[in-house]
Structure 1
Amino acid sequence: MSEMTRWIELEGAVNARDLGGLPTRDGGVTVRGRIFRADNLQGLTPRDVALLVGELKLRHVVDLRSNAEVALEGPGPLTRVPEVRHHHLTLFAEGGRHTDVEADTQPLGIDGDRVLPWAERVPDEELRVTGFYFGYLRDRPSAVIAALRAMALDDGAALVHCAAGKDRTGVLSALALEVAGVTREAIVADYAATGERLELILRRLRASETYRGDLDSRPADDHLPRPRYIEQFFQVLEERFGGVMGWLSRNGWTETDTAAMRARLRD
């Protein structure tokens, strides 16, 4: 990993980066080498594993994929590394046959009145994406909390991932960065940064039968992680719960948890 970039260049994954190096609201910067985010890890090579486990001291993998994805794709090479502990915490909010890759293309599974009662305020496209994101919190709050706690463990680096490293991973990363006090602008920019690798991500996913059916015939632009999606997600939480911390506290997150996350990303 270059000192000049947060991207982690791997042979078997294309959307891996560090949550370090981001500005905080009090003028600080998040610490590098503590929490990473990525796309599917199925294709990691021995060299990738050596980099992650040996050089970057990866000790915790938070896998947000569904049970179907894990069964169809397999658990991945890092599960064979004894130093690495796996936390499989599915968010169960899939819009496609096996995944949530249709979250930004089709309104499948979204009940606008139940998910976003103020739907008339937002464009349909925004409603679809934010509805899926809010669905993670609504349907699997315990998994969201457990994933954040695993990301904050202090006995080595942690990595959170899903299939594309875009939606499920994007939401968990945004929540972690908000807890750590990162500026909203930096959180939005980190979410949108996946767009820089989108073509490579979609190429990888379309090579797998698990994901191809949910992606075929959709132009790449439909899958862009647009800043307004995560901005609207934060607005949902502000209006309904008083913000991210309000939602977290209602679902069992404690001051000790907050201190642990800040200690991991802030020093």
Structure 2
Amino acid sequence: MLWLDLEGAVNVRDVGGIPTDDGEKIARGRLLRSDNLQNLSPTDINFLVENVRLSTVVDLRSPAEVTSEGPAPLTRIDRVLHVNHSLLPEHGFAATAEALLVRRKREEERYPGDPSCAHYLGYVEHRPDSIVAALRAVNRSAGAALVHCAAGKDRTGVVVAFALTVAGARREDIIRDYAATGERLDRILDRLRRSPTYAGSIDSVPEDHHRPRAETMEAFLEQVDKRHGGVLSVLGGNGFTDDEFDALHRKLRR
């Protein structure tokens, strides 16, 4: 994986270079993942558009988050397509500590022992349509596609894991990519604490609870296999066609 050090985002990386099951690698410059893009500088924008050849941004935040945060700088660039596919249920995003605690309690019942894994399984159960739509946007992107949410960890982690699975990435390396966000966690949380949208929820749980653990993504993918027949079955069962599987595989490979 290749970290991209920007001035206005701290969890940005190109997933190119990740090994695949057949001994090849994911191609660089095809799929990026990131935290919130609200604070990108003019230098960041120029780098992403001119050097990375970014052409599509896939925003996984809820409509309420998008409205609260307001337009991001990249939305003013006409040559970059922006699409929004929320992974949260239609009732939307609640940032109050009380609402978050209620939601976490329900999710823990879905997969006791790992609230994050339970949360991710909720994305698959409630919003497979958004996962499929996000991957279609990556597929259709003329240049590089960037997938992001608020922290670039949970919602982004799930969509990127699905994309990498379709591309034939080794599962252990999909898990490793997910956990790599932990290297930037302090900076991610500092950014979110400065946002009125997210500040109230960040410290509602101990800081270490935000840390991405390899065991979480491993358990999530295992549960997708057991409960849904695997990543490909989830996507295929929600309208992702054989042609789309082939196209995404080709796009993310050399």
TM-score range normalised by the length of the shorter chain: over 0.9
TM-score, L = length of structure 2: 0.93
Q: Deviations over 1:194-234 (max 9, x none)?
A: 00000000000001111010012543211111011111111
Per mean C-alpha deviation after superposition, the further-off stretch among 213-222 and 198-207 is 213-222
1:130 offset after TM fit, Å?
A: 1.6
> Unaligned regions of 5+ residues in structure 2, if any?
none
Q: Deviations over 1:70-99 (max 9, x none)?
A: 111012011100100011111124997249
Per mean C-alpha deviation after superposition, the further-off stretch among 236-245 and 44-53 is 236-245
Is 1:188 matched up with 2:179?
A: no
Equivalence for 1:169:
156
Alignment of 1:1-267 (within 5 A): 6-93=2-89, 97-98=94-95, 107-110=104-107, 112=109, 116=110, 119=111, 124-126=112-114, 128-216=115-203, 218-267=205-254
1:257 offset after TM fit, Å?
A: 1.1
Q: Secondary structure at the match of 1:159?
A: strand
Per mean C-alpha deviation after superposition, the further-off stretch among 233-242 and 195-204 is 233-242
Q: Deviations over 1:25-84 (max 9, x none)?
A: 000011101110000000000000000011111000000011111111012011100100
Q: Secondary structure at the match of 1:213?
A: helix
Q: Deviations over 1:172-197 (max 9, x none)?
A: 00000000000011000000000000
Q: Secondary structure at the match of 1:210?
A: coil
1:103 offset after TM fit, Å?
A: 8.0
Q: Secondary structure at the match of 2:58?
A: strand
Per mean C-alpha deviation after superposition, the further-off stretch among 257-266 and 33-42 is 257-266
CA RMSD of aligned residues (A): 2.2
- Count matched residues: 252
Q: Secondary structure at the match of 1:152?
A: helix
Q: Secondary structure at the match of 2:140?
A: coil
TM-score, L = length of structure 1: 0.88
- Paired AA for residue 107 in structure 1: R
CA contact (8 A) 2:59 2:86 kept: yes
Please identify runs of 4+ aligned residues in structure 1 that moved more than 6 A. Answer: 102-106
Residues of 2 paired with 1:29 and 1:190: CA distance? Answer: 13
Residues of 1 paired with 2:179 and 2:169: CA distance? Answer: 15
1:125 offset after TM fit, Å?
A: 3.5
Residues of 2 paired with 1:201 and 1:99: CA distance? Answer: 19
Q: Secondary structure at the match of 1:60?
A: strand
> Unaligned regions of 5+ residues in structure 1, if any?
none
